[in-house]
């Protein structure tokens, strides 16, 4: 099922309907398989990777075009980036991996939304498929104010006192070394 675009100046191509959570999860799984197979180039899947995702989606009855895949990829990347901007340093909160929702008291949400207004959109809908999104976009988007990621090694500071502690001269940005348990999400 598709929806026609209603925005002026947009493509005449119909917009894909991704409201089915099963189809969306399958899309993410297929994209992750392509990323892990080395088919991510310059922040998006290679043509071969996109073709593979289109074929896999067709096998489950979802017919989409290259442009629809790119649009969905970009839309989800924006949501993932916004989520990480708001919640990157949070710990000790409940999290439901099925819905992607953070379980926190109302007063915590009030403070969080005041500090990061885009957090409001994640209060009720969460970020579904977060583990897959971490693989899809991890290492391609800098989210912290001092974040940087390169395709090479993470640099080491060489001047004393510039590290993250008095005895350390090594600086490692944890955002550049995401940990995702692939075995846990592949089941």
pLDDT in tens, 126-173: 999 999 999 999 987 555 554 444 444 444 443 344 444 444 444 444
pLDDT reading at 181 higher than 70: no
- CA–CA dist 73, 32 (Å, integer): 12
Pairing type for strands 15-16 and 94-96 reads unpaired
The pTM is what?
Answer: 0.69
pLDDT in tens, 8-54: 455 677 899 999 999 999 999 999 999 999 999 989 999 999 999 99
pLDDT at position 128: 92
Q: What are phi and psi of 123, to 5 degrees?
A: -65, -45
């Amino acid at each position: 099922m598709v929806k026609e675009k209603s925005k002026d100046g947009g493509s005449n191509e119909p917009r894909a309907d991704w409201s089915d959570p099963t189809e969306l999860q399958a899309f993410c799984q297929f994209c992750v398989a392509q990323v892990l197979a080395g088919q991510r180039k310059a922040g998006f899947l290679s043509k071969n990777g996109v073709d593979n995702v289109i074929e896999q989606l067709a096998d489950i009855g979802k017919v989409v075009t290259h442009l629809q895949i790119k649009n969905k990829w970009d839309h989800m990347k924006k949501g993932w980036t916004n989520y990480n901007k708001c919640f990157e340093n949070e710990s000790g909160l409940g999290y439901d991996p099925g819905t992607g929702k953070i379980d926190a008291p109302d007063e915590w949400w009030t403070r969080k939304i005041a500090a990061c207004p885009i957090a409001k959109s994640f209060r009720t809908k969460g970020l579904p498929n977060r583990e897959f999104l971490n693989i899809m976009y991890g290492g391609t988007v800098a989210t912290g104010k001092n974040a940087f990621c390169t395709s090479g090694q993470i640099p080491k500071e060489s001047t004393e006192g510039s590290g993250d502690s008095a005895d350390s001269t090594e600086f490692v940005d944890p955002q550049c070394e995401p940990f995702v348990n692939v075995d846990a999400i592949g089941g």
